[in-house]
Amino acid sequence: MSTLHQRFTVNFSYPVVFTRDAFALDNPSLADVMRQGGRPHSRALVVIDSEVASLTPGLLERISRYGEAHRELMEFVAPPFLVRGGEICKHEPVEVERIHALVERHKICRHSFIVAIGGGAVLDAAGYAAATAHRGVRLIRMPTTVLAQNDAGIGVKNSVNAFGRKNFLGTFAPPFAVINDAAFLETLPARDKRAGIAEAVKVALIRDRDFFDFLYKERDQLGRFAPAATEAMIKRCAELHLEHIAGAGDPFESGSSRPLDFGHWVAHKLEELSHSELRHGEAVAIGIALDSLYSHHLGRLGELDLYRILTLLEALGFSLYHPALSWLDVERALGDFREHLGGELSIPLLEGIGCKIEAHEIDVALMKQCIAQLAERAGAEEGQPARSGHGSAEDRSSLRNA
Domain check: are 168 and 263 in the same one? no
Q: Considering the domain boundaries, does residue 11 fall inside one?
A: no
Whether the pLDDT of residue 304 is over 60: the answer is yes
Query: Could you tell me if residue 8 is inside a domain?
Result: no
CATH at residue 231: 1.20.1090.10
The residue that leads in pLDDT, 388 or 143, is 143
Residues 327-361 have pLDDT tens digits of 999 999 998 888 877 778 889 999 999 999 999 99
Q: At residue 378, does pLDDT exceed 80?
A: yes
Q: CA end-to-end span of the chain, whole Å? A: 64
Please indicate, yes or no, whether residues 162 and 98 belong to a single structural domain of this protein: yes
Q: Are residues 48 and 25 in the same domain?
A: yes
Which of 187, 204, 234 is the last residue before a domain boundary?
Answer: 187
Phi, psi of 19 (to 5 degrees): -150, -175
- Using the predicted structure, report yes or no on whether residue 174 has a pLDDT greater than 70: yes
Structural domain boundaries, residue 309: 191-243+251-401
Q: Which residues of 358-369 are buried (b: 16+ CB within 10 A; e: fewer)?
A: ebeebeeeebeb
Give a yes or no: residue 9 inside a domain. Answer: no
Q: Quick one: CA dihedral 44, 47, 52, 58, positive or negative?
A: positive
Kindly state whether residues 30 and 155 are assigned to the same domain. yes
Is residue 22 domain-shared with residue 53, that is, in the same domain?
yes
Is the distance from CB of 116 to CB of 82 less than 8 angstroms? no
Handedness of CA 322, 326, 327, 333 (dihedral sign): positive
382: pLDDT strictly greater than 70: no
CB atoms within 10 A of CB 248: 14
Predicted confidence at residue 36, as pLDDT, reads: 94
The predicted pLDDT at position 395 comes to 41
Confidence of residue 165 (pLDDT cuts 50, 70, 90): confident
Residue 261: the pLDDT is 81
Total residue length of the chain: 402
Q: How far apart are CA 95 and CA 109, in angstroms?
A: 19
Mean pLDDT throughout 255-278? 81
Per-residue pLDDT band for 200 (boundaries 50, 70, 90) equals very high
Instruction: Confirm whether 384 is domain-assigned.
Output: yes
Q: What is the pLDDT of residues 138-158, one digit of tens each?
A: 999 999 999 999 988 999 999
Does one domain contain both 182 and 262?
no
Mean confidence (pLDDT) of the chain: 90
pLDDT at 260 over 70: no
C-alpha closest to that of 326 among 396, 397, 378: 378
90 compared with 257, residue with greater pLDDT = 90
**Residue 314 shares a structural domain with residue 328:** yes
Report the C-alpha gap between 368 and 372 in whole angstroms: 6
Is the confidence at residue 393, as pLDDT, over 60? no
Please, are residues 350 and 340 in contact by the beta-carbon 8 Å criterion?
Answer: no
Residue 397 reports pLDDT greater than 60: no
Query: Is-contact 381 375, C-beta < 8 A?
Result: no
Q: What is the mean pLDDT of residues 210-219?
A: 98
What's the CA gap between 150 and 194, in Å, rounded? 12
Judge if 167 and 203 occupy the same domain.
Answer: no
The whole-model pTM stands at: 0.85
Instruction: Assess whether pLDDT exceeds 60 at residue 63.
Output: yes
Q: Where are the alpha helices (DSSP H) in 144-208?
A: 146-147, 190-207
CB 15 within 8 A of CB 178: yes
Whole-angstrom CA distances from 206 to 2, 238, 244, 279, 401 are: 46, 14, 11, 22, 24
Residue 4 domain-assigned (yes or no): no
**Alpha-helix runs per DSSP H in 162-279:** 190-207, 209-217, 219-223, 227-247, 264-273
Residue 1 within a domain: no
Contacts of 242 (CB under 8 A, 6+ apart): 16, 154
Q: Report residue 118's pLDDT band, with 50, 70 and 90 as the boundaries.
A: very high
Q: What percent of the chain has pLDDT over 70?
A: 91
What CATH number corresponds to the domain at position 177? Answer: 3.40.50.1970
Q: Is residue 390 part of a domain?
A: yes
Residue 351, Cβ neighbours under 10 Å: how many?
14
Q: Give one word for 158, left, alpha or beta, with left for phi > 0 and alpha for psi -120 to 50.
A: beta
Number of domains in the chain: 2
Q: Do 31 and 170 reside in the same domain of the chain?
A: yes
Question: Average pLDDT in the 26-47 region?
Answer: 95
- From residue 287, how far is each of 13, 173, 197, 348 by CA, in Å? 32, 27, 14, 11
87 falls within a domain: yes
| Confidence check: pLDDT of 390 > 70 | no
Same domain, 136 and 45: yes
What's the confidence (pLDDT) of residue 9?
A: 85
